[in-house]
Amino acid sequence: MVELRVRHRFPARPDSAAFALEIEFRAGSGVTVLFGPSGAGKTLTLDCIAGFTAPEEGRILLDDEILFDAGSGVNLPPRARHCGYVFQNYALFPHMTLRQNLAFAAERRPRLERHRKVNEMLERFHLADAAGRRPHELSGGEKQRCSIARALIGSPRLLLLDEPARGLDAPLRTEFYALLRQVRAEFQLPTVLVTHDLEECFELGDEMLILREGRLVQSGPPRAIAERPANVEVARLLGIFNLLPAEVLELNPQRNLSRLRVGDFELAGPYFPGRFRGDRVWLCVRPDQLSATAREGTPGANQVPAQLMRAVELPQSARLEFAGGINVELARAEYERQKSNREWQVGFPQHALRVL
């Protein structure tokens, strides 16, 4: 388990604004994902753990060992930290063959064991045929496997991955996810993965930490965060929600009811604890929770007439973009039934509504 509490400031420079990282978390077994936009401090956090950057203040523990402690002046060099690191571009040594890359990483093992371990890793990651080739002669998948094998060969106590799937095409990405799941099952290593790809969080993450401008804004299992983003900031970062400005008109805890004004319309929602009448809030609802149907006569309860701006047909669903920033996602079959509608209305299921 890695436990970290760090603070690090960068003064403003001519080419960059001032930045402060101030973060505290622990990551246990399984995969912990650091998610956030570029410039949130994700890679910097990883570099602090690996020992490439010494924060100004704080403490980093791996299991029971102190890797860094500003107070007592402990700062282990990267080579003493036993963290496997998979770099964004893999950083395979271009002047060495794949086998030499692995042997370089196994150098600390006794000689006989070293050779055996390299062979074992080559077998395990299906790299034996490519062992004699240099990185530029390897396929994308081989490079990927080699970088992970190299990071694991020294038996690290923690695996760090810096946007490992960035820039990969879809098949390689799928291959990579499978590979990481295999590594996870076989090595049982606590893993910290940096990404700005939400899909990756759901594919691989047990625990998700959302970073923004150097701070942790929410943490929890990916599913739970997607269900309940802590605030409008998180909801925006996840980028999967409809966020509509609204006003609380009425709250009724006894009947678990509320009424909201959204634009020109009123919607009924569940009771929102901690809110008051007159509060200005954001209505937050996922596109797949809404319905879109043909408008006939006066709209019913929680049905809002809407003007369709654009329909995007996705491989498995369709996204309907309505005026006012309302997106609705329909399953393929449902979209086929509805697509000839001329006038539309959007339905907001009462109990799916959340406010932030």
Which CB sits closer to other proteins, 49 or 355?
Answer: 49
Nearer Cβ to other proteins (151/226): 151
**Nearest approach, Cβ of residue 156 and other proteins (Å):** 9
What are 328's two structure tokens?
A: 């609705």
Count other C-beta atoms under 10 Å from residue 174's C-beta. Answer: 13
Instruction: Annotate each residue in 2-41 with x if it binds other proteins (CB under 8 A) or - if it does not, as one string.
Output: ----------------------------------------
Neighbours of 294 (CB within 10 A): 12
**CA 147 to each of CA 151, 222, 279, 336: distance values in angstroms, whole numbers, following the listed order:** 6, 26, 52, 45
Residues between 90 and 119 with contacts to other proteins, criterion CB under 8 A = 91, 93-95, 104-105, 107-108
Which residues ranging from 122 to 161 are in contact with other proteins (CB under 8 A)?
150-151, 154
Stretch that binds other proteins, among 6-14, 50-58, 120-128, 250-258 (CB under 8 A): 50-58
DSSP, collapsed to helix, strand or coil, labels residue 132 as coil
In the block, which residue shows the tokens 């388990």? Answer: 1
> Between residues 36 and 51, which has the closer beta carbon with respect to other proteins?
51
Spell out the residues 6+ positions from residue 2 whose beta carbon is closer than 8 angstroms to its own. Answer: 26, 27, 49, 60, 61, 62, 158, 190, 192
The yes or no reply on residue 65 touching other proteins (CB under 8 A) is no
- Find the binding residues for other proteins in span 72-91 (CB under 8 A): 77-79, 81, 83-85, 87-89, 91
For residues 281 and 59, what is the distance between their CA atoms, to the nearest angstrom? 38
Residue 264 Cβ vs other proteins, minimum distance, rounded to whole Å: 54
> How far is 70 from 203, CA to CA, in rounded Å?
36
CA distances for 2 relative to 23, 25, 65, 66, angstroms: 13, 8, 9, 10
Least distance between other proteins and beta carbon 85 (Å): 5
Part of the chain binding other proteins (CB under 8 A), chosen from 18-26, 47-55, 296-304, 327-335: 47-55
Q: Which amino acid is it at 243?
A: L
Ranges within 334-353 binding other proteins (CB under 8 A):
none
Return residues touching other proteins (CB under 8 A): 50-52, 77-79, 81, 83-85, 87-89, 91, 93-95, 104-105, 107-108, 150-151, 154
